[in-house]
Amino acid sequence: MAIAKAQPGKTLLNGSNHTLIMIDHQSQMAFATKSIDPVLLRNNAALVAKAAKEFKVSTILTTVAEKSFSGPIFDEIKSVFPNETIIDRTTMNTWEDGRIAERVNAIGKEKIVLAGLWTSVCIVGPALSALDQGFEVYVIADASGDVSDEAHQRAMERMIQAGARPMTSLQYLLELQRDWARGETYNETVATAITNGGGYGLGLIYAKAMFNASEGH
């Protein structure tokens, strides 16, 4: 018989139980991305980066052919992690670069969260590879994108069929916070949601301005 306990499920993310890998959020990759508006993509990438920074998530940033073709990582990410070493690869599959494997092993987390461009190549590759090696994989769908809606959706379906867990950027932030009584991260979570949380952020602005509302804090 199942018994309810006031504790989070094992598949939920927190700041210390996963590694975030942000992959190929670069201008050349974004030019051909059609499954999501580039402004929204950049906003969502910023939201994910800020959430990871706030909750001290072990984060790996990686690019492909930065100097020769794809250009620098989005400023929305670089500004959040100005001192982070960015691993520039030749491999389309991030997981096949030995430096990535070395970092993942050094961090030592069994949960891997992925976001990047393009979904059908640069996310499918590491997702399926990590799953095959026994990791739990999560994909932030709206901080990723592809050359068409079809390409993005088929890639997401393929990963889900293999066991990956899809989520969104705002979900990522709120799952890390998870309790408005957590005062040490409350203000920054709300600030990030206001800046990058779309309609939810507008709602927070309204509630605080009109009623000085606070989410149970």
Active site residue 122: yes
Question: Are residues 185 and 132 part of one domain?
Answer: no
Strands 18-23 and 58-64: parallel
Residue type for position 28? Q
CATH number of the structural domain spanning residue 110: 3.40.50.850
- pLDDT tens by residue, 55-78: 999 999 999 988 888 999 999 999
Closest by alpha carbon to 111, among 92, 127, 123? Answer: 127
What does pTM read for this prediction?
0.95
How far does CA 191 lie from the centroid of its chain?
18
| Domain with 199 in it | 180-211
Q: What is the pLDDT of residue 215?
A: 62
Q: What is the pLDDT of residue 106?
A: 98
The verdict on residue 160 lying in a domain is yes
Question: Are residues 134 and 47 part of one domain?
Answer: yes
Question: Are residues 184 and 162 part of one domain?
Answer: no
Spatial separation of the C-alpha atoms in residues 122 and 92, rounded to whole Å = 6
Question: Are residues 203 and 170 part of one domain?
Answer: no
Question: Are residues 91 and 162 part of one domain?
Answer: yes
Per residue in 150-188, is it b (16+ CB within 10 Å) or e — as a string?
A: ebbeebbeebeeeebeebbbbebbbbbbeeeeeeebbeb
- Helix ranges (DSSP H) in 37-182: 38-54, 75-78, 98-107, 124-132, 149-162, 169-177
**Number of domain units in the chain:** 2
Question: Are residues 203 and 126 part of one domain?
Answer: no
The verdict on residue 122 lying in a domain is yes
Spatial separation of the C-alpha atoms in residues 99 and 91, rounded to whole Å = 11
The verdict on residue 217 lying in a domain is no
DSSP letter at 85?
P
The verdict on residue 72 lying in a domain is yes
Strands 111-116 and 86-89: unpaired
Question: Are residues 125 and 104 part of one domain?
Answer: yes
Question: Are residues 88 and 66 part of one domain?
Answer: yes
Question: Are residues 196 and 101 part of one domain?
Answer: no
Q: What is the pLDDT of residue 214?
A: 67
Spatial separation of the C-alpha atoms in residues 33 and 149, rounded to whole Å = 9
Which among 46, 122, 137, 141 is annotated as catalytic?
122
The verdict on residue 7 lying in a domain is no
The verdict on residue 50 lying in a domain is yes
The verdict on residue 86 lying in a domain is yes
Q: What is the pLDDT of residue 159?
A: 98
The verdict on residue 12 lying in a domain is no
Query: Mean pLDDT for each 10-residue chunk of the chain (217 residues)?
Result: 95 98 96 97 98 98 90 97 97 98 98 98 98 98 98 98 98 97 95 95 87 66
User: Using DSSP, how many helices (H) and how many strands (E) does the chain show?
Assistant: 9, 6
Question: Are residues 184 and 134 part of one domain?
Answer: no
Angle between the N-to-C axes of helices 149-162 and 124-132, in degrees from 0 to 180, rounded to the nearest 10: 0
Question: Are residues 113 and 96 part of one domain?
Answer: yes
Question: Are residues 115 and 66 part of one domain?
Answer: yes
